[in-house]
Amino acid sequence: MTLDRYAKIVLTVIAVALVIIAARPWLPESFSPDTFRTTPALAQTSAPKYGELVVPKAWGKYIAYSNNNLLLEAPDKSLRVVDLDGKAPEYPRLKVIVHWGQ
């Protein structure tokens, strides 16, 4: 019997707290004490690790991306590996140019 009464009291307290939380936006500021006031949560985004990098279009057409490197194909059919791991202005950095021999 006491367990039943205890459960009803706990559930009533939870229900009252939920009603107060739900009704708080419509209640005047003076009604809610300072103890129950909270600051609104602000959406926060994480900044990108390196920011934006611009790869010149003249370096070639995008073929693949792997291990933070771009593989580009130039108009003369040579392949270029571009390292993106770093900060501007020294990055993006051209690591390798592969020319196919005749």
Domain coordinates of the chain in residue numbers? Answer: 2-36, 57-98
- Ranking 4-8, 19-23, 28-32, 89-93 by mean pLDDT, the lowest is 28-32
Q: Is the pLDDT of residue 10 over 80?
A: yes
Please give the model's pTM, rounded to 2 decimal places: 0.45
What gap in Å lies between CA 65 and CA 74, rounded to an integer? 15
The pLDDT score that the predictor gives to residue 51 is: 64
For the ranges 14-28, 45-59, 79-93, the lowest mean pLDDT is seen at: 45-59
* H or E element, residue 73: strand 69-73
Cis previous bond, 28, omega within 30? no
Tens-place pLDDT, residues 25-68 = 777 766 656 666 667 777 777 666 556 777 788 888 889 888 88
Question: What pLDDT does residue 32 have?
Answer: 58
